[in-house]
């Protein structure tokens, strides 16, 4: 909503692809655009830029920051004052539709997994995701404290990205807790890299959101194709605990909310590689969601 109702979009290295804009004609219709990009082909390709800056992002942003330092205190105060009503409107949207997790006593909700992961790690872990519903829930329910704490392939849709990316992050940050959050579908595309973790003594930590489906595709088929489920059923899958053990890693499983905390604590405190199979609600959906060809004003909230 903030993007839709804005009067200025400051776009740094942005492609304005259709996964971001939805229906282009109704995307941020009131906004002027300042576009910084190192590639001239990307500026104005999708959304017209009112001001174009062909530059390396770091160089352009530093130059802008240097200019801002020259502004008078009264100018800055007036600028902050001018945005007060805008911030009030944004806070009202957040208050009217807060991110909430409705926990269950009988089945593990995927949002609950992320909330518990945040508590167990005290919010300090680097979170690496694969692609799908779990990716959205991780973004929504793990409040990140600092930059470079979130590694994801974004809108590229790269299923299988999570596990090997977590290996790289852990090698780069040997003294930091790194956790891969993946789905049961994407995990099966690159799970052979568990052997890499064992071979090179990398303390890989993987949480599998196991709902027995290709979850995001299933959600679209449920919501927009009258539950005409096609090629999304993953009920026939390996036993992920045995698979982990076959590679030489620790394998754990949680099936109920009562088991969740203990599995996460045991898995994350283990010195070596651990695969945690968390069996979650089969048909839980991600919200908000924007229908294909729509825009953020068309978002479905629940």
Over its length of 302 residues, how does the chain's per-residue pLDDT go in tens digits? 999 999 999 999 988 888 788 888 889 999 999 999 999 999 999 999 999 999 999 999 999 999 999 999 899 899 999 999 999 999 999 999 888 888 888 999 999 999 999 999 999 999 999 999 999 999 999 999 999 999 999 878 899 999 999 999 999 999 999 999 999 999 999 999 999 999 999 999 999 999 999 999 999 999 999 999 999 999 999 999 999 999 999 999 999 999 999 999 999 999 999 999 999 999 999 999 988 878 778 889 88
Quick check: 250 and 80 in contact, CB under 8 A? Answer: no
Quick check: 284 and 104 in contact, CB under 8 A? Answer: no
Q: What string of H, E and C letters represents the secondary structure of 175-207?
A: CCCEEEEEEHHHHHHHHHHHHHHHHCCCCCEEE
**Could you tell me which residues come within 8 angstroms of residue 49 by beta carbon, excluding any fewer than 6 positions away?**
11, 33, 34, 35, 43
Whole-model pTM above 0.85? yes
The per-residue pLDDT for 296 is 78
Coil, strand or helix at 255: coil
Quick check: 123 and 142 in contact, CB under 8 A? Answer: yes
The per-residue pLDDT for 102 is 84
Tokens 């240097």, located at residue: 66
- What sign for the dihedral angle of Cα 170, 172, 173, 174? positive
**Structure-block tokens of residue 247:** 């590679």
Side-by-side strand order, sheet with 250-254: 150-151, 126-129, 178-183, 205-210, 274-279, 250-254
Q: Phi then psi for 192, rounded to 5 degrees? A: -65, -15
What long-range pairs does 229-232 form, CB within 8 A, spacing at least 24?
Answer: none
Sequence length of the chain is 302
Domains of the chain with bracketed CATH: 2-96 (3.40.50.1220), 110-279 (3.40.50.970)
């Amino acid at each position: 909503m903030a993007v839709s109702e804005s009067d200025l979009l400051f776009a740094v290295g942005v492609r304005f692809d259709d996964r971001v804009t939805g229906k282009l004609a109704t995307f941020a219709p009131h906004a002027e655009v300042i576009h910084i990009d190192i590639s001239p082909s990307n500026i104005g390709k999708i959304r017209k830029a009112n001001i174009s800056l062909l530059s390396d992002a770091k160089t352009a942003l530093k130059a802008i920051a240097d200019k801002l330092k020259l502004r008078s205190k009264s100018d800055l105060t007036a600028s902050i004052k001018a945005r007060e009503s805008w911030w009030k409107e944004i806070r009202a949207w957040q208050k009217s539709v807060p991110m909430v997790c409705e926990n269950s006593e009988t089945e593990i909700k995927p949002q609950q997994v992320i909330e518990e992961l945040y508590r167990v790690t005290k919010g300090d872990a680097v979170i690496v995701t694969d692609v799908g519903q779990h990716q959205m829930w991780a973004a929504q329910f793990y409040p990140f404290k600092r930059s470079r704490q979130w590694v994801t392939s974004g809108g590229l849709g790269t299923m299988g990205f999570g596990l090997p990316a977590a290996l790289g992050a852990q090698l780069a940050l040997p003294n930091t807790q790194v956790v891969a959050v993946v789905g049961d579908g994407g995990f099966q595309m690159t799970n052979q890299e568990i052997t890499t973790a064992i071979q090179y003594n990398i303390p890989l930590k993987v949480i599998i959101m196991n709902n027995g489906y290709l979850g995001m595709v299933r959600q679209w088929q449920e919501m927009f194709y009258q539950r005409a489920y096609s090629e999304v059923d993953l009920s026939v899958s390996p036993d992920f605990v045995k698979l982990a053990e076959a590679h030489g890693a620790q394998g754990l499983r949680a099936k109920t909310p009562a088991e969740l905390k203990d599995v996460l604590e045991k898995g994350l405190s283990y010195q070596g590689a651990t695969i945690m199979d968390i069996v979650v609600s089969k048909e839980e959906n991600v919200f908000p969601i924007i229908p294909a060809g729509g825009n953020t004003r068309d978002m479905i909230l629940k």
